Amino acid sequence: MKRFISCIVITVAALLTFSACNKMLDKAALDAFADDNFWTKESNVEAYANTFYNNFAGYGNSGGGGSFYFPTLNDNQADALFRDWNYNNVLVSNSDWTSPYSEIRRANILIARVEKMDLTDDVKAHWVGVARMIRALQYYWLVRTFGDVPLVDHELNISETDVIFQARQDRDKVMDFVLDDLNFAVSNIRDVVNRTGWSRDLAQAIKAEICLFEGTYCKYRVAADGQKAPDATRAANFLTAAKTAAEAIMGKSAYVLNDSYASTYNSLDLTGNKEMILTKHYVKDLFMHSLPDYTCSSSQAYGLTKDAFNAYLFTDGLPKATTTLNNTDIPTVMDAGNHLTITDLLARRDPRLAASIDGTLMPVPNPFKGRFGRSDDVNQTSSTGYGVLKYDSDKLAVGYRVETGKNYTDAPLYWLAVVYLEYAEACAELGTCTQADLDKSINKLRDRVGMPHLTTSPTADPANNMNVSALIWEIRRERRVELMFDNNFRFWDLNRWHQLDKLDTKAYPDIKLGANVKNDPASVASSDITVTADGYINAYPNNDRIYDKKYYFYPVPTSQIQLNEKLTQNPGWEK
């Protein structure tokens, strides 16, 4: 199978460069494995389709970074090194363009082959639904990244130069195509609970995510910034689709929140977990990752920012500006090892904060001696002083916990908490949100951690700088804190809300600051870190990330434009 797949996984551009592969498909492989004798039974189709799992990074593979914690282009984290925009210059090539088209081609091949197989109609429809679901996901990733993109709806032949050399299609047209694929998927994929495989519920979860993105993007986009003008009707249609898809999952008894917020992220086995819709399962000594190691070893952690710290509500359910509790973020207590502790600060905040960061600060001058209580623990440090605790697990043996490629906690890919957030946001953006909507979504998340309920008329927060209602602001806050460090959500949330300017470190300096260490003389005096006049760690003292409207889209790789003269460059990237 590997021989076959290695031949068919080629991009539109690669059809031109590697046309010899087209001839290879006409010949039997050395082991007599060929295209015409592969598509003969459902088990082969399933094996082919299961390679689509490689699209879900989860916690990463072996020593590589995954989609949790590692993406730091956001206002939640400061990297150990300066974190600028993903691209400042036009690239010659970019896998963000080519990789999705490889997967789209594989999906199109599956669709074409299955339709010709001797299978029952429902079996065919299931596997075509899986392929169309994956194809929709790939086009969604392409559109949110590049805007207008070429649209290929079938298995390409090398002779189809009119399709290969097509112009970029209007992104709205592509997203309509995506919705058609998703609607087919949710109607035809098997209605089973399969937390490690393909299911109708997974298609609904993907549909909810994509339609929420499209609905809010179309509501908030700005023509002057190189996008199309807002489209209220289109936005409402997609937001309604997101709400309906989320509700389809919420209405099933098969899905229930975990009792523990932390257990979503630090469990050794999520395959039977009722909050999961799809999980990535890791196996000790066979298939592992490195996420806990990066957050609790000698590598400097990508710490939580001051801005993110202040996003967490206090236990009275109110934000920093209006809480009735002591709202300081300045620690005063030193532990026996002469480290500043923040357990008293965390006790006054939403418990999800204490589940996400360490109760001991770990600036460079006096590195924290680790979480394991042993004399030989490695020194831990964080770029902001706030260590990342969320993904660590004491269920891992220490030797597996602090070694690259030796971690085997399971990764959530699609899960119920995200669906609740999508449902509440869609309701609010539609202007139809009721208390009952909040009680069956966000307030279940708050109940889990013992926080007061959100109402449809929350207290206005003076920190609201997004020009949205108090309700939408609080729903966005809930999404931020519930999904802190998760799955690169924050960057794409800011993108779809048209709020990428919030990543400008000059305009919003708190996004590059960390913990206050004014009461730790060693940190204040250290030359290893930079501390502001009022005591906050500055993770990027010599650099700033400056916003430009061109960053709403990535640049189209020049190699693609050279191959196809009909392709145009995105606004702001022309030179």
Quick one: pLDDT at residue 337? 87
Q: Determine the pLDDT at residue 144.
A: 98
**Neighbour-count burial for 202-220, b at 16+ CB within 10 Å, e otherwise:** bbbbbbbbbbbbbbbbbbb
Banded model confidence at residue 212, pLDDT cuts 50, 70, 90: very high
Per-residue pLDDT at 361 exceeds 70:
yes
Residue 3, pLDDT score: 29
CB 52 within 8 A of CB 9: no
**What contacts 409, CB < 8 A, 6 or more positions away?**
59, 265, 266, 267, 268, 282, 289, 291, 292, 391, 393, 395, 396
Distance CA 375, CA 373 (A): 7
pLDDT confidence tier of residue 398, bands split at 50, 70 and 90: confident
Residues facing 368 on adjacent strands: 380
Q: What's the pLDDT at 424?
A: 98
Give just the sign of the alpha carbon dihedral 382, 383, 386, 391: negative
DSSP letter at 344 equals H
CA distance 200 to 183: 11
- d(CA 410, CA 395) in angstroms, rounded, equals 12
**pLDDT of 370:** 84
Q: What pLDDT is recorded for position 377?
A: 80
Q: Which of 399, 407, 392 is nearest to 359 (CA)?
A: 392
The whole-number average pLDDT for the span 370-398 is 89
pLDDT at 192: 97
In the chain, the largest separation of any two C-alpha atoms, in whole Å, equals 75
User: For residue 15, what pLDDT is reported?
Assistant: 35
* pLDDT score of 378: 83
Residue 17 banded pLDDT, cuts 50, 70, 90: very low
Question: What's residue 116's pLDDT?
Answer: 95
> What tokens were used for 85?
């925009």
Q: pLDDT band at 12, cuts 50/70/90?
A: very low
The CA distance from 239 to 247, in Å, is 12
Least confident of 23-27, 304-308, 571-575: 23-27
Whether 6 shows a pLDDT value over 70: the answer reads no
Is pTM, for the whole model, over 0.75? yes
- The 10s digit of each residue's pLDDT in 507-544 is 999 999 999 999 999 999 999 999 999 999 999 999 99
Please determine, for residue 23, whether its predicted confidence score (pLDDT) is greater than 90: no
Residue type for 342, please? I
Q: Which two tokens stand for residue 574?
A: 């022309």
Specify whether the CB–CB gap between 281 and 271 falls below 8 A. yes
Which of 2-11, 79-88, 219-228, 244-253 has the weakest average pLDDT? Answer: 2-11
Mean pLDDT of the chain: 93
Residue 24 has pLDDT above 60, yes or no: no
Q: What is the mean pLDDT of residues 5-30?
A: 33
Nearest CA-CA partner of 240 in 213, 215, 210: 215
Average pLDDT over residues 445-458: 98
CA dihedral sign of residues 342, 347, 348, 354: positive
CA distance 497 to 501: 11
Using 50, 70 and 90 to split pLDDT, how confident is the model at 397?
confident
Do 190 and 200 form a contact (C-beta atoms < 8 A)?
Answer: yes
Residue 536: its H or E element:
strand 536-538
pLDDT tens digits, 37-80 = 899 999 999 999 999 999 999 999 999 999 999 999 999 999 99
Q: Angle 416-430/442-449 helices, nearest 10 degrees?
A: 130
For 277, which DSSP code? E
List Cβ neighbours of 267 (8 Å cut-off, separation of 6 or more).
Answer: 273, 393, 395, 409, 410
Task: Please state the separation of Cα 188 from the chain's center in Å.
Answer: 26
pLDDT band at residue 31 using 50, 70 and 90 as cut-offs: very low
Domains and CATH numbers, the chain: 2-63+96-259 (1.25.40.390), 283-406+505-544 (no CATH)
- Return the structure tokens found at 465: 């700088």
Among the residue ranges 136-145, 154-163, 330-339, 375-384, the one predicted with the least confidence is 375-384
Phi-psi region of 371 (alpha: psi -120 to 50; beta: other; left: phi over 0): alpha
How far is the C-alpha of 382 from the C-alpha of 364, rounded, in Å?
A: 7
Answer whether residue 445 shows pLDDT above 90: yes
Q: Residue 498: which pLDDT band, with cuts at 50, 70 and 90?
A: very high
Residue 369: its pLDDT value, please? 86
